[in-house]
Each structure stands twice: as structure tokens, then as C-alpha cells.
């Protein structure tokens, strides 16, 4: 083979390799095949389709970045004080405790958003817990209602500490589950600590992070 023939063969091989890459990259853009179109015609079509798809992909990425940038986030601290009305009984090796909590909630500090420092709400909860040799399981859905009638829904869970008597309590986690009015779409989580007082009173202090799309 002469040097001219060798260069021609190398060029042809390089071109075919480039076309094979174009075929692989554009395989998802068309159901047609190079055999039906011819290598050069098909490759040109694949490039055109790639140019059409690329702006759409860029647009999707930009929309995602905008959505992330416009999401609301923040933190706040709150205190909730209640009086409880519990019933306790023994059941199949477990101590079952349940009942209502009625009290107030106050936002102590806030980075902004729907949680306003100094805002007060009425708090109503229903507590259910069971204690066995495996430990404590406590769950408490609550509704906080502010002066404007806007509601925030929360769900508290706790496996540490105890429940009911003065000096008892423990640490747990609380979920923010949206609500009405300015709390629509708000989600998040809080760490909290509960302390039981005399005369069926208890106090819970929480540190929370929230977000809204």
C-alpha cells in the first residue's frame, strides 16, 4: 500500500469512527438507521436533532435552578405550654397513656417568613403513648391556630424519657405538615424537649427548620 493509499484509508477509518460516535449519541433522537439514510445524510440529520434537543435540556436545567432559588426556607424557636387530661391503663404487658393537651404556643425567635416572632397561637393536641420493656413510643398530632384563624399542623414523636408526672419528659422530634392561610405548603422538622410540671401542666421548647417550594 502506497503512502497516499494509507492516508486515504486512515481518513476513511477516522470518518467512520466519528460517524459511529454520532450514531451512538443520537440513537435516542430518531428511530431511523444509518443504513436507511446513508451515513452522511443520517449523521447530518442526527446533528440537526441534537441542536433541537439541546435548548430544551438547557431550559429544563434553568427552570430547576430558578425553582431552587425561589424556594423559601428559615428557622424559628417556639414554646408550647399545655394542661393535659390523660388516662392511663395496663394492657398486655404495656402501659397505655392517652388524652388531650390544650394550651398556647408562642414563636420566640424567627428568621422570617410565615413565622413571626412574638406571635401567639392556641395549641390543641392528642397524645397516645405506650411503654413496654422495649421502651417508650409516643405520638402527638397537634394544631396551632393563630389570631387570624390560620392553622399549622404538626406531628410530635418521642422515644426518650417518660410521660405524665412532674419532673418527667424527654427529647423528641416534630414534623411540620403544612396548614392553612400563610402556612399552606410549609414543611420541616424540629427538635424539642418536653418537661412535665405540677398540676398536669407541661412545657415544650422546640428548634425548627422549615421550607416551602
Question: Can you tell me the mean pLDDT for 164-179?
Answer: 97
- Has residue 108 got a pLDDT over 70? yes
CA-wise closest residue to 99 among 63, 68, 127, 74: 127
Residues 84, 123, single domain; the answer is: yes
What total number of domains does the chain contain? 2
Structural domain for 84, as ranges: 72-212
- Has residue 9 got a pLDDT over 80? no
User: Residue 34 has what pLDDT?
Assistant: 55
Distance in angstroms (rounded) separating the CA atoms of residues 161 and 205: 15
Chosen domain end from 31, 52, 70: 70
- Has residue 17 got a pLDDT over 60? no
User: Residue 70 has what pLDDT?
Assistant: 73
Question: Higher confidence at residue 42 or residue 203?
Answer: 203
Distance in angstroms (rounded) separating the CA atoms of residues 161 and 167: 10
Question: Can you tell me the mean pLDDT for 63-91?
Answer: 85
Chosen domain end from 46, 70, 94: 70
User: Residue 66 has what pLDDT?
Assistant: 45
- Has residue 110 got a pLDDT over 80? yes
Amino acid at each position: 500500500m502506497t503512502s497516499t493509499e494509507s492516508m486515504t484509508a486512515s481518513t476513511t477509518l477516522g470518518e467512520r469512527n466519528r460517524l459511529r460516535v454520532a450514531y451512538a449519541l443520537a440513537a435516542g433522537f430518531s428511530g431511523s438507521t444509518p443504513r436507511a439514510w446513508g451515513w452522511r445524510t443520517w449523521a447530518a440529520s442526527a446533528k440537526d436533532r441534537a441542536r433541537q434537543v439541546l435548548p430544551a435540556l438547557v431550559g429544563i436545567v434553568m427552570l430547576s435552578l430558578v425553582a431552587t432559588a425561589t424556594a423559601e426556607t428559615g428557622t424559628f424557636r417556639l414554646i408550647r405550654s399545655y394542661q393535659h387530661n390523660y388516662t392511663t391503663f395496663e394492657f398486655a404487658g404495656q402501659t397505655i397513656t392517652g388524652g388531650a393537651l390544650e394550651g398556647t404556643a408562642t414563636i420566640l425567635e424567627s428568621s422570617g417568613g410565615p413565622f413571626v416572632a412574638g406571635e401567639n397561637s392556641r395549641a390543641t393536641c392528642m397524645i397516645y403513648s405506650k411503654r413496654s420493656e422495649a421502651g417508650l413510643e409516643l405520638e402527638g398530632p397537634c394544631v396551632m391556630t393563630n389570631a387570624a384563624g390560620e392553622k399549622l399542623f404538626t406531628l410530635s414523636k418521642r422515644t426518650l424519657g417518660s410521660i405524665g408526672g412532674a419532673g418527667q419528659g424527654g427529647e423528641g422530634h416534630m414534623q411540620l405538615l403544612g396548614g392553612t392561610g400563610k402556612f399552606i405548603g410549609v414543611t420541616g422538622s424540629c427538635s424539642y424537649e418536653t418537661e412535665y410540671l405540677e398540676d398536669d401542666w407541661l412545657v415544650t421548647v422546640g428548634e425548627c427548620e422549615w421550607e416551602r417550594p
